[in-house]
């Protein structure tokens, strides 16, 4: 009896040559590092060096997060990934009334360049690659990072990293948006232009399917909606006057890795193949680097359980293996206790050790794309690709990703998928170990990491001291220049940088843009 995949596609008990009847390896596969990149974006993949082990971290104050980063570096992490708290993600200062109760909770509080300086104190920014999970206020956070680098004597052309900067998925699945779609897309295009000229090694966007998957999207939906968003960003940049090959090589993507290894491998392979063809055939990109879908992966937080949390160590190892077999460029492995609270020092170290075991104690780095030619995986790759292309075609028929978002299409499809998963779990058809099968009567006690509530008052005191000690006239002048740029057509990042240099806060910068662009109010399609 055939099973269904996470995308609702059939999985046959046995696959043989008939599964690939009429299948052309030259068209479907190619060589590793060659179009259409089904087998990976680099010829040698992990045989020369492993993926970047990049652990996502940030909580409380900049001082606490800085200590965690140094610990991760000492334990062998190869790249930092900054988690910001909710007020920062929404462009509010820590002392804003709306921020009450959320300061430092789900990430680090960064109100000004002063916090950014502390966050990276003692960390040479020309030696470490930094990813920042920030979207609506991505531009000012990136500029703060650049200002701190300048203080360290590091020129912008030596900075490497990624800013997530993907606002479309916020409208679909996550909700930390600020401005309406049109000015949000303009801000992203301005960031592309600014980095092209000034921070050339920086990845200017990480187009994210992870959060849609966490909201319930199937693998086919995850790549379809993510690639459709990517197409929208490319069109926006081209419409703003940029040549596709001037920015496309710096685009990156961000996907989830679930425990369903075979379909996840197929998903990653299908995504690379679709994107390569879109960039080459639809946008006429000539640079092979523009055809490459380079991506970061995070293991599936939504699959972690608060019940018997140690079992999550097994889940994360399986999920990490799926990402590696699928050809990821960098990986974050979740800590086993994240369904309960922020990771402890020990659990964060164990998560990193999981990647190190995969890299150094298994043979998955010995050969490129070990599943190539597998009857099952190649057929599943074709099936996921076809399902994703069908969804992308429906989005195109609606006028593109933004139009589909405004009609609630992606959100509705994800909600239906999430409801199906919930029904299957509740009925026991979908087994979740420790939740609906193999349960225990009494859970072992666990002491989670807790964020000190005094952090909010401490951040408010720091903000008061900042405002008292800066040149208010310089700040007001710089913010006025930022509003003027937002009202016109010039790039908003240069005046934004000067405002931040004058010690304007994240809330003041975002409020200046709110006054011009307004805020997004979603329409509920249901």
Task: Write down the pLDDT at residue 524.
Answer: 61
Q: What is the pLDDT of residue 526?
A: 38
For residue 82, what is the enclosing H or E element? strand 79-83
Residues of the chain with pLDDT under 70: 1-2, 524-526
Give residue 342's pLDDT: 85
Cα(65)–Cα(344) distance, rounded to whole angstroms?
Answer: 12
CA distance 492 to 506: 15
**Strand pairing class (79-83; 205-208):** unpaired
Q: What is the DSSP letter of 415?
A: H
- Digit-coded pLDDT (tens) for 263-285: 999 999 999 999 999 999 999 99
Q: Are 440 and 89 in contact (CB under 8 A)?
A: no
Cis preceding-peptide flag for 36 (omega within 30 of 0): yes
Per-residue pLDDT tens digits for 335-386? 999 999 889 889 999 999 999 999 999 999 999 999 999 999 999 999 999 9
153: tokens are: 């004597």
CA dist 370 and 46 (Å) reads 12
Rg (CA), the chain: 23
Distance CA 173, CA 166 (A): 12
Residue pair 231/252 in contact (Cβ under 8 Å)? The answer is no
**CA distance from start to end of the chain:** 36
d(CA 494, CA 124): 24
* CA dihedral sign, ordered 240, 243, 248, 250: negative
Give yes or no for a contact between 80 and 71, defined as CB atoms under 8 angstroms apart: no
What is each CA distance from 121 to 62, 70, 151, in whole angstroms? Answer: 9, 10, 11
The domains found in the chain, sorted by start residue, are 3-34+52-427 (3.20.20.240)
Please name the helix (run of DSSP H) or strand (run of DSSP E) that holds residue 507, with its range, or none: helix 506-517
Tell me which H or E stretch contains 298. strand 295-299
Helix (H) or strand (E) holding 326: none
Q: Say how many residues make up the chain.
A: 526
């Amino acid at each position: 009896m055939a099973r269904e995949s996470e995308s609702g596609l059939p999985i046959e008990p046995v696959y043989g040559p008939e599964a690939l009847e009429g299948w052309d390896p030259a068209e479907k596969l190619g060589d590793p590092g060659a179009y259409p990149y089904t087998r990976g974006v680099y010829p040698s993949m992990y045989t020369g060096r492993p993926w970047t082990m990049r652990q996502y971290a940030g909580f409380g104050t900049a001082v606490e997060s800085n200590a965690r980063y140094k610990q991760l570096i000492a334990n062998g992490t190869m790249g930092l990934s900054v988690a910001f708290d909710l007020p920062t993600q929404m462009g509010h200062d820590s002392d804003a009334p709306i921020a009450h109760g959320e300061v430092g909770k789900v990430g680090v509080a960064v109100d000004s360049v002063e916090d950014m300086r502390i966050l990276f104190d003692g960390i040479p920014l020309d030696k470490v690659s930094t990813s920042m999970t920030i979207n609506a206020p991505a531009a000012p956070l990136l500029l703060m990072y650049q200002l701190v680098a300048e203080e360290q004597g590091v020129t912008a052309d030596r900075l490497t990293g990624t800013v997530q900067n993907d606002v479309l998925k916020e409208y679909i699945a996550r909700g930390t948006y600020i401005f309406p779609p049109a000015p949000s897309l303009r801000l992203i295009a301005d960031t592309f232009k600014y980095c092209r000229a000034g921070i050339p090694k920086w990845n200017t966007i990480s187009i994210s399917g992870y959060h849609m998957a966490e909201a319930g999207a199937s693998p086919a939906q995850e790549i379809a909606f993510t690639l459709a968003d990517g197409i929208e960003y490319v069109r926006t940049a081209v419409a703003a006057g940029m040549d596709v090959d001037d920015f496309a090589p710096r685009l990156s993507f961000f996907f989830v890795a679930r425990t369903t290894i075979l379909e996840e491998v197929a998903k990653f392979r299908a995504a690379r193949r679709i994107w390569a063809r879109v960039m080459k055939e639809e946008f006429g990109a000539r640079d092979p680097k523009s055809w490459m879908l380079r991506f970061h992966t995070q293991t599936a937080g939504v699959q972690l359980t608060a019940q018997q949390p140690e079992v999550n160590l097994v889940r994360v190892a399986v999920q990490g293996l799926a990402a590696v077999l699928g050809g990821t460029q960098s990986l974050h492995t979740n800590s086993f206790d994240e369904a309960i609270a922020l990771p402890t020092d020990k659990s964060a170290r164990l998560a990193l050790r999981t990647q190190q075991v995969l890299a150094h104690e298994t043979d998955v780095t010995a050969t490129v794309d070990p599943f190539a030619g597998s009857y099952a995986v190649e057929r599943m790759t074709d099936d996921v690709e076809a399902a994703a292309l069908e969804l992308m075609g429906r989005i195109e028929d609606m006028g593109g990703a933004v139009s589909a978002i405004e009609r609630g299409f992606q959100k509705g499809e994800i909600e239906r998928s999430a409801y199906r998963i919930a029904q299957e779990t509740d009925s026991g058809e979908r087994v979740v170990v420790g939740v609906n099968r193999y349960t225990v009567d009494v859970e072992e006690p666990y002491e989670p990491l807790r964020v000190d509530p005094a952090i909010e008052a401490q951040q408010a005191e720091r903000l008061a001291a900042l405002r008292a000690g800066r040149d208010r006239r310089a700040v007001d002048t710089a913010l006025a220049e930022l509003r003027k740029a937002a009202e016109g057509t010039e790039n908003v990042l240069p005046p934004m940088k000067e405002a931040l240099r004058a010690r304007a806060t994240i809330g003041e910068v975002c409020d200046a843009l709110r006054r011009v662009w307004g805020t997004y109010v979603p329409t509920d399609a249901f």
